[in-house]
Amino acid sequence: MLYDKQPKMITSQLKILIADDEAPARNRLRELLGDIDNITLVGEAKNGKQALALAEETHADVLLLDIRMPQMDGIEAAMHLQKLNPPPAIIFTTAFDGYALQAFDMNAVDYLLKPIRLERLQTAINKARALLPAQLEAIRPLQPRRTHFSVSERGRVILVPLTDVIYLRAELKYTTVRTKEREYLIEDSLTSIEQEFGEQFLRLHRNCLVAQASILGYEKSAGADGESHWVALLKDISETVSVSRRQLHVLKGLAG
């Protein structure tokens, strides 16, 4: 009856996914969802990372995402979820988060305050839709430092933990992310990454950011032109990154 205006939804069941780190909170949502018609609960996640994996697997239509979760919070999960095709609708849930709620209100992002009321949940699910680019941009500052980069490859979203990244190199249009195992292409620019993560990455070359934690040391090596220059030795891989003359001060700063 509720779906009279959207006839195609009468037959299709809306697939819902819950993400919350607290068992009672998930329990409560499950109970409430049980009282709503024409929906199916397709999965429950304990953090943002699980939510992303489950959303991909179940092709969930709507995600109920708690904001404060360990490992990966709801805001970051929402960013990565956008890379799914089609991206699911997102409704944030939170007990209290004054700063976030202000941003949500200003950008018409859907959220529910815990404890959640049945009627509010129902209305929110009915009007839920995927986040617009502008909305995404607006909530990005709520999670100032991502814990993962996300890469979409052949319709899948691959998460690259920040701690796995050895270096980032700017290519023509993309940025290459190098981990121990392989390389990925992401769309973020080196400058924006530098701003986001600060001292975590060192700019050793105009086109290269190297993870501080991956640098074993520096060595002088002879280049092809016969002139010697400094290179950084890296953990886990045999490749080296050359330090540009312009960036030598970074090295000196470390030695001093």
Partner 1 sequence: MASIKQKPKNSMQEHSVEKSSNGSTSTRAIMRLPDFRNLGICLRTLVIVNLVTLFAAILQSHGFVDTLKQMAELSVFTQPVLLLSFLLLFAASPRLVKLPYYWGVAGVIAISIATTTVIYLFGSYVFPADEMPGLARNWLLSGITAAIVLYYFNLRHRALTPAIAEARLQALQARIRPHFLFNSINAVLSLIRSQPARAETALEDMADLFRVLMADNRDLVPLAKEIALCRQYLALEKLRLDERLNIVWEIDSMPPDALIPPLVLQPLLENAVYHGIEPMPEGGTIKVNIYTSRKEVHVVLSNPYTTQGGHQSGNKMALTNIRERLALHFDAEASLSSKSVSKNNAKVYEVHIIIPYHPHSGE
The residues binding partner 1 (CB under 8 A) are 21-25, 27-28, 31, 46-47, 68, 70-71, 73, 95-97, 113-116, 145, 147
Spatial separation of the C-alpha atoms in residues 256 and 226, rounded to whole Å = 28
List 158's β-bridge partners, or say none: 151
Select 135 or 143, whichever has its Cβ closest to partner 1: 143
Whose Cβ is closer to partner 1: residue 61's or residue 73's? 73
CA of 209: how far to CAs of 68, 91, 178, 203, 251, in Å?
30, 35, 10, 4, 13
Q: How far is the CB of 104 from partner 1 (least distance, A)?
A: 16
Smallest Cα–Cα separation from 110: which of 137, 81, 82, 139?
139
Q: How far is the CB of 18 from partner 1 (least distance, A)?
A: 12
152/200 with CB nearer partner 1: 200
Least separation in angstroms between CB 105 and partner 1: 17
**What's the min distance (Å) between Cβ of 52 and partner 1?**
15
Measured from the CB of residue 25, what is the shortest distance to partner 1 in angstroms? 6
Residue 33 or 231: the one with the smaller Cβ distance to partner 1 is 33
Phi/psi of residue 149, nearest 5 degrees: -95, 150
Cβ closest to partner 1, residue 130 vs residue 142: 142
Q: What is the dihedral angle through the alpha carbons of 110, 115, 120, 124, rounded to the nearest 10 degrees?
A: 30
Q: In the complex, what is the shortest distance from the CB of residue 90 to partner 1, in angstroms, rounded to a whole number?
A: 20
- Cβ at position 246, least distance to partner 1 in Å: 31
> Residue 27 or 102: which CB sits closer to partner 1?
27
Cβ neighbours for 167, distance < 8 A, ≥ 6 positions apart: 178, 208, 209, 210, 211, 214, 234, 241
Which tokens go with 184?
């990925």
Is 190 in contact with 207 (CB distance < 8 Å)?
A: yes
How far apart CA 113 and CA 216 sit, in angstroms, is 48
* 27 vs 228, beta carbon nearer partner 1: 27
CB 110 within 8 A of CB 90: yes
